[in-house]
Amino acid sequence: MKYRKMPKTGDELSALGFGCMRLPMGENGKVDTDEAVRVIRRGIDGGINYVDTAWPYHDGDGELYLAKALKDGYREKVFLATKLPVWLAEKPEDMDDFLDRQLERLETGHIDYYLVHALNKARWRHAESLKVGEFLDRAKRAGKIKNAGFSFHDGPDLFDAILNAYDWDLCQIQYNFIDRNYQAGEKGLKAAAEKGLGVIVMEPLRGGALVRTVPEDVAKIWRENAPGRSPAQWGLRWLWDQPEVSVVLSGMSSMEQVEDNLEAAEQGYPGNLTETERTAVDKAARIYMDRMAVNCTGCRYCMPCPAGVKIPECFAQYNKVTMLDDLAGAKQFYGVLTKDGGKASQCVECGKCETACPQNIPIRKALKEVVQLLENEN
């Protein structure tokens, strides 16, 4: 296991972090508690010392499962991260109540890394109205949290705004060799690092989609350049190749995944790839991008949409289907992204977006395809 120093805290965190959003499931459709404990502890025994969960994981019981795994001295071996479900807070004191309940659920006296969860424009506006910065300062003074951060799911302009709105210790972004310009993207990674924040990377394998279904032409690239290296190891090592990345979270749900990732993490240092290997990853990324249904770069020139459609997000999920054959995952994430509005079906065909799009995408037509694919039963 390789370790990286968090810029502001000095903590030496494992390059591989354990994300507890996809714990092992039993035949009854619920988390297999014994297996989850075994898998998490194997990761910790293998050198992982950053463990991440959140209030809503596993139908609200994720923190309880993790607490079981961290008994018997394992809590003292890790830096524990969880997140504030700010969208559920109605008044400032609610945030204090959530934190106190999380401390109870996790059976701990403090949270090492506490993040404001899944920020987008609406949630950040709500967090600001609740004076979330004052809450975080208050929690730090009380010793309930050691470090404060945020996880992010929106565009680059909002990311920059949040980055400069508080003295954060860390941020968490979605980033992988395909999603280099999605949401915060590579620019966000570098901007956060320049400000001295630690950067935690989530969805390094797009929720496993870069591993579950690998196009033969991509598989051939992997075989020719490093026989025996798994697709997961390619994706993880590409991230660790970059010095700005502090921790790469993997949602491991089996012992096989843990062992594979631990093996990869032995090479989890900046500069671990050769130039030839970097070129191979770029070629693989181009193959995936050529399968893209809509050539949307996420530049957001089309935004804001007068009808409230989340145009780049709609296309990102549409592309997930064609690039990764992941219809189920795309539908699930689309539902989350548009829970509070922004669906493709809200389009009123005003055409304003098309006049602003530098890629000349027929956006209105493409949004109808999104509706057919992701909103209709099929």
Domain boundaries, the chain: 3-281, 311-375
Q: Which residues contact 344 (CB under 8 A, 6 or more apart)?
A: 309, 314, 367, 368, 370, 371, 374, 375
CA distances from 283 to 178, 182, 220, 280, 287 (A): 11, 18, 11, 5, 6
Please give the single-letter amino acid code of residue 133. G
- Residue 265 CA, chain-centre distance (Å), reads 18
| Percent of the chain scoring above 90 in pLDDT | 79
pLDDT at 215: 87
**Each residue's pLDDT tens digit, 266-283:** 999 999 999 999 999 999
Cα 320 to Cα 119, 220, 236, 291, 327, distances in angstroms = 21, 21, 19, 9, 7
- At 316 the pLDDT is 87
Query: What is the rounded distance in angstroms from the CA atom of residue 378 to the CA atom of residue 373?
Result: 7
Contacts for 132 with CB less than 8 Å, ≥ 6 apart = 84, 86, 95, 116, 166
Percentage of the chain with pLDDT > 70? Answer: 99
Considering the segment(s) 3-281 as one domain, its CATH architecture is Alpha-Beta Barrel (3.20)
Is the model's pLDDT at 265 over the cut of 90? yes
For residue 172, which of 158, 152, 193 has the smallest C-alpha distance? 152
**Does pLDDT of 204 surpass 80?**
yes
Least confident of 53-57, 117-121, 223-227, 279-283: 117-121
The average pLDDT across 229-246 equals 97
CA atoms within 13 A on the CB side of 262: 17
H/E element, 117: strand 111-119
Which amino acid type is present at position 115?
L
Judged against a pLDDT cut of 80, whether residue 109 lies above it is answered with yes
How many Å apart are CA 359 and CA 354, to the nearest integer? 9
- Parallel, antiparallel, or unpaired for β 12-14 and 3-5? antiparallel
What pLDDT, on the 0 to 100 scale, is given for residue 297? 67
pTM of this prediction? 0.83
The 8-class DSSP code of residue 172 comes to E
pLDDT of 359 over the 80 cut: no
**What CA–CA distance (Å, rounded) separates 348 from 309?**
9
In the predicted model, what is the mean pLDDT of the chain? 94
pLDDT tens-place string over residues 11-59: 999 999 999 999 999 988 889 999 999 999 999 999 999 999 999 999 8
Q: Torsions phi, psi of 279, nearest 5?
A: -65, -40
pLDDT of 214 over the 90 cut: no
- Judge contact between 114 and 142, C-beta under 8 A: no
Tell me if 1 sits within 8 A of 14, measured CB to CB: yes
Angle between helix axes 327-337 and 311-324 (nearest 10 degrees) is 170
Return the pLDDT at 378: 59
pLDDT of residue 209: 74
| Collapsed DSSP state (helix, strand, coil) of residue 249 | strand
